[in-house]
Amino acid sequence: MEQLVLTPDMIKVFVLLVAAIIIFVFDWLRVDVVGILIMILLPLCGVLSAEEATAGLSSNAVVSIIAVMIIGAGLNRTGVMDVLAKKIIKIAGKSETRIMIVISATVSFISSFMQNIGAAALFLPAVSRISRELGVPISRVLMPMGFSAIIGGCLTLVGSSPLIMLNDLMGAWWKNNQAMLHGASFEPLGLFSVTPIGMALLAGALLYFAFAGRFILPSSKQEGEDRERLSSKKVREIYEPTLDHAVLKVPDGFPPKTLQELDMGPRFHVTVVGIFKAGNKKAKNKADLSPSGNSLVEPGDLVAVISSKENIERLAATLGWEIREIEDEFTQKFIGSEYGIVQGIVPPGSPLVNHTMEELDFRDRYRVNVLAVYRGDQVLYEGLSNLRLQAGDAVLLLGPWQKLRKIKKNLDLVFTEELKGEERAPEKAVPALICLGVALALAMIFNVKLSIALFTGAIGMVLFKVISIDDAYKSVDWMTIFLLGGLIPLGAAFEKTGAASFIAMKIVSMIGEFSTVTLLLTVGILTSFFSLVASNVGATVLMVPLSMNLALQAGISPVLAGLTVGIAASNTFILPTHQVNALIMRPGGYKTKDYVRAGIGMTVIYLAIMITVILALY
């Protein structure tokens, strides 16, 4: 066996690797900053050339991720992801565990015939919407989804790069060692040869998160999620002390009346922000989130109001309505990304000056609720319909982002923060799906390189005006891009300097003789380690010939050893170094310690299931 010598370049790579892991674990720097530092230090240390160190930014994986993010933003804009989210909710209900299982299993299946990073990126918008609508912490769903996407690459022989390469690598080794094999012929693995292993691994992962997820996964909220409906801290300080909100249930026997007939504003000084037609199963629009004076209130309805606590309690007592928990099903309607609460300032010369909301027919025209007016140092929330507005008044509004943008344009309101939410383009759903279909067809049928295929779909989104080029740029998470751009050259340096081979040879020489279980376990651990710190492709290229040589010397089938390498190359869960783990890190709000906590158990389960199934079936 070839003896390798520890070189200065190897030492440099080991130092950079250990330093990066320590910084990740202790969270001393943001992960993208670490990626950039690695990219800079590798050529400065003389380990890689400048071209090699920056090659990660133009790699197939990174370019593919950029394209998928743009495609995902286009699908999101058209409402396609809303439809997908609703389908998942319909199947899984509101159970956090069932939602996790359905999403993870679906993504795993998709990643069995396309790159796992693409499958995970495409599902990010849908998971985001489901998290918002159901109030499920996105961190409880994204990591299981990401791990399942990685495992999905083991469902077929074309699901991951290591498995795609496996037959060629094993065939080449077989050809070079014919004399020692006594003329035995090599039988390539079939498309579904690895499917039993992949299915068992996926089942193990889903059971692991179903039973242990609540203990090992953080409960962090989605980045950018409206944890509180009033997103600006200053706005919260102004209005929250005086404004309260509640959902009231209209009792049976209450005579149906319109809001105009109930006259709730003048009588009780409350603002009705929505009516949920819970008692009418046949209603086409069960939720009216911008009710007008003609909106009908019937027995069984849920009515959402905003005012002071005293006014809400007086309303409930007078009308005999029941105050419900604010987390009621109705209030979830306001969690979606389409609605927001913002403050707008009335500038001099605005059409609102010296007019009342009633004169402007504001509510019926714009379908937006006026919650309060801040004038001087007072918050006014009573009699808002008849309040004559003055220049400098601050108006607190609740409504769809689309309507709020219309108000900004027509009434010249100056909003104190950027209007969020996405402009919907449901009429562009068909072109968006065509772009996605073309991208997938190019990659899967015509064997076009994935980055080119996906960018074809991405530029199609722009040309068909599904998404503007400016919004396309904004949709890219550059933190993820630079993290990957730095980790990829670190893996290349690990392989180029011989550091990976050095570690492998040292461990193998320490173990000595192998039994079947010992051999497969050693090969599995080594491959998992190299895939974690370098790349799964590099680990496969290194470990396939090494493992098959060891198997031959130990009198074990070389194919079992090669198969173990191909499957173990996807066992990359402990650090956010895998492309999928890096992708979900930011939107899931994860820290490196979260990957370590969840990844250690997953790694052990993965190795145990893999070796057990290989020994039992092969």
Q: What's 259's domain CATH number?
A: 3.30.70.1450
Residue 16 domain flag = yes
Q: Which residue has the higher pLDDT, 536 or 607?
A: 607
- pLDDT band at 451; cut points 50, 70, 90: confident
At 63, the amino acid letter reads V
Q: Work out the mean pLDDT of the chain and round it to a whole number.
A: 83
Based on the fold, state whether residues 276 and 357 are members of the same structural domain: yes
Based on the fold, state whether residues 497 and 382 are members of the same structural domain: no
- Residue-number span of the structural domain to which 567 is assigned: 8-39+58-173+188-223+477-617
E strand or H helix that includes residue 507: helix 499-511
- 10 Å CB burial of residue 292 (0-12, 13-18, 19+) is middle
Based on the fold, state whether residues 490 and 365 are members of the same structural domain: no
Residue 420 domain flag = no
Tell me how far CA of residue 155 lies from CA of 159, 288, 564, in angstroms.
7, 45, 14
Based on the fold, state whether residues 357 and 260 are members of the same structural domain: yes
Residue 2 domain flag = no
Q: Which residue has the higher pLDDT, 36 or 425?
A: 36
Residues in the chain: 618
Residues 6+ apart with CB under 8 A from 418: none
pLDDT at 120 over 60: yes
pLDDT digits (tens, 9 = 90+) for 263-276: 887 788 888 888 88
Phi, psi angle pair for 237, to nearest 5°: -65, -30
| Residue 230 three-state SS | strand
**Residue 609 CA from chain centroid, whole number:** 27
| Residue 379 three-state SS | strand
Domain ends where: 372, 391, 415? 415
Which of 143-152, 242-251, 395-404 is most confident? Answer: 143-152
Do 163 and 111 form a contact (C-beta atoms < 8 A)?
no
Based on the fold, state whether residues 362 and 502 are members of the same structural domain: no
Residue 464 domain flag = no
Based on the fold, state whether residues 497 and 397 are members of the same structural domain: no
- pLDDT band at 475; cut points 50, 70, 90: confident
Nearest to 154 by CA among 208, 202, 210, 207: 202
First to last CA, the chain: 28
At 618, the amino acid letter reads Y
- pLDDT band at 311; cut points 50, 70, 90: confident
Based on the fold, state whether residues 240 and 199 are members of the same structural domain: no
- pLDDT band at 224; cut points 50, 70, 90: very low
Do 297 and 303 form a contact (C-beta atoms < 8 A)?
yes
Report how far residue 184's alpha carbon sits from residue 406's, in angstroms, rounded to the nearest whole number: 75
Based on the fold, state whether residues 260 and 193 are members of the same structural domain: no
Based on the fold, state whether residues 314 and 402 are members of the same structural domain: yes
pTM beyond 0.85, yes or no: no
pLDDT digits (tens, 9 = 90+) for 332-351: 555 445 677 788 888 887 78
Report how far residue 556's alpha carbon sits from residue 549's, in angstroms, rounded to the nearest whole number: 10
- pLDDT band at 306; cut points 50, 70, 90: confident
Residues 6+ apart with CB under 8 A from 318: 267, 268
Using a pLDDT cut of 90, give the percent of the chain over it.
Answer: 27
Based on the fold, state whether residues 201 and 309 are members of the same structural domain: no
Residue 178 domain flag = no
Residues 6+ apart with CB under 8 A from 369: 271, 272, 273, 290, 306, 363, 397, 398, 399
Domain ends where: 396, 415, 434? 415
pLDDT on residue 234: 58
Residue 459 domain flag = no
Report how far residue 511's alpha carbon sits from residue 525's, in angstroms, rounded to the nearest whole number: 13
Residue 1 domain flag = no
Secondary structure, 3-state, 251-280:
CCCCCCEEHHHHCHHHHHCCEEEEEECCCC
Report how far residue 195's alpha carbon sits from residue 6's, in angstroms, rounded to the nearest whole number: 40
pLDDT at 331 over 80: no
Which of 69-83, 124-138, 351-365, 425-439 is most confident? Answer: 425-439
Based on the fold, state whether residues 279 and 303 are members of the same structural domain: yes
Q: Count of domains in the chain?
A: 2
Using a pLDDT cut of 70, give the percent of the chain over it.
Answer: 89
- pLDDT band at 292; cut points 50, 70, 90: confident
